[in-house]
């Protein structure tokens, strides 16, 4: 039995009325791009990027998430460029107002917030300069992060505010974490910004339990989380995403809310 098929032929965009062409331009989506730096690519020493147990994460990585502007349509012809440019420019401005987002595990977070790590500049801290021993993957990733950071700054009522960085830290449930988790939390508590930058640390609450030595006692992190929330303000205690406050803030999310947040990173 033959199955009837519809022969779909391409159509000329310029055959559409101008109103419909503008609808086409307005429907163009800015997809997200994920730029990944694995620990095995970075080849940094353990003091800069510790090796996490396989029970925590199979491969520790830092993922930079940013929107990608599909500007190829502007290269088709002069008329399309003239019609589409104002619409895409508005979309690009909206993207510039979005935070620079990172998705990490606790070991990768150590690599970002560690006081002497070469990846620290990805969070907008003054770059100490890459060493000759640091490989090209690290250098390229740091430069890419710097490029996106330089383009990000929200504006409200004509006044430029701080650039916003969101760092989402994932973890496995029912898994005890060790020194890489505790040290990361300690460094976050001491993290300082002297420029116009706001870092929002997003994590799954409650914090994971800890086990500092193999077969040692497993302890919950209730007291640690309480201390962190006293040290670093919750984001909503200051204001919304466009708050003019600068510094480091926490955004604890419980179970389902955290999973929904991580899923939402796939699109802007």
Tell me the per-residue pLDDT of 98-153, one tens digit each, with 9 for 90 and over: 889 999 999 999 999 998 888 998 998 865 555 555 688 999 999 999 988 887 76
As a whole-number percent, the residues of the chain with pLDDT over 70 amount to: 85
Tell me the per-residue pLDDT of 203-243, one tens digit each, with 9 for 90 and over: 999 999 988 777 778 888 999 999 898 888 888 755 444 44
- Residue 191: pLDDT over 70: yes
Tell me the per-residue pLDDT of 63-95, one tens digit each, with 9 for 90 and over: 999 888 778 888 888 998 999 888 888 888 777
What is the reported pLDDT for 249? 92
CA distances from 139 to 79, 90, 118, 144, 145 (A): 40, 32, 9, 9, 10
Number of H helices, E strands in the chain: 9, 8
What is the reported pLDDT for 58? 75
What is the reported pLDDT for 242? 45
Burial of 11 (0-12, 13-18, 19+ CB in 10 A): exposed
Higher pLDDT, 245 or 211: 211
CA-wise closest residue to 122 among 166, 153, 154: 166
Distance CA 71, CA 224 (A): 47
Neighbours of 164 (CB within 10 A): 23
What is the reported pLDDT for 57? 72
What is the reported pLDDT for 154? 59
Mean pLDDT over all residues of the chain? 83
């Amino acid at each position: 039995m033959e199955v009837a098929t519809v022969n779909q032929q391409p159509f000329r965009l310029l055959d559409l009325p101008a109103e419909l062409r503008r609808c086409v331009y307005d429907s163009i989506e800015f997809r997200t791009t994920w730029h990944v730096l694995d620990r095995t690519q970075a080849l940094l020493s353990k003091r800069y990027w510790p090796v996490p147990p396989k029970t925590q994460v199979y491969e520790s990585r830092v993922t930079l998430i940013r929107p990608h502007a599909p500007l190829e349509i502007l290269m088709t012809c002069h008329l399309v460029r003239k019609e589409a440019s104002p619409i895409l420019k508005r979309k690009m401005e909206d993207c510039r107002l979005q935070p620079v987002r990172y998705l990490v595990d606790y070991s990768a977070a150590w690599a970002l917030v560690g006081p002497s790590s070469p990846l620290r500049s990805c969070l907008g801290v003054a770059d100490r300069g890459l060493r000759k021993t640091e490989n090209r993957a690290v250098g390229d990733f740091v430069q890419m992060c710097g490029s996106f950071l330089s383009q990000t700054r929200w504006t409200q009522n004509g006044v430029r505010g701080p650039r916003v960085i969101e760092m989402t830290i994932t973890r496995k449930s029912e898994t005890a974490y060790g020194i890489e988790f505790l040290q990361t939390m300690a460094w976050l508590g001491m993290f300082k910004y002297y420029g116009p930058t706001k870092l929002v640390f997003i994590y799954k609450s409650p914090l994971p339990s800890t086990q500092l030595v193999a077969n040692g006692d497993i302890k919950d992190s209730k007291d640690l989380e309480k201390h962190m929330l006293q040290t670093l303000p919750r984001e909503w205690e200051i204001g919304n995403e466009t708050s003019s406050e600068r510094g480091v803030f926490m955004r604890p999310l419980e179970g389902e809310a955290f999973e929904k947040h991580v899923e939402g990173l796939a699109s802007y």
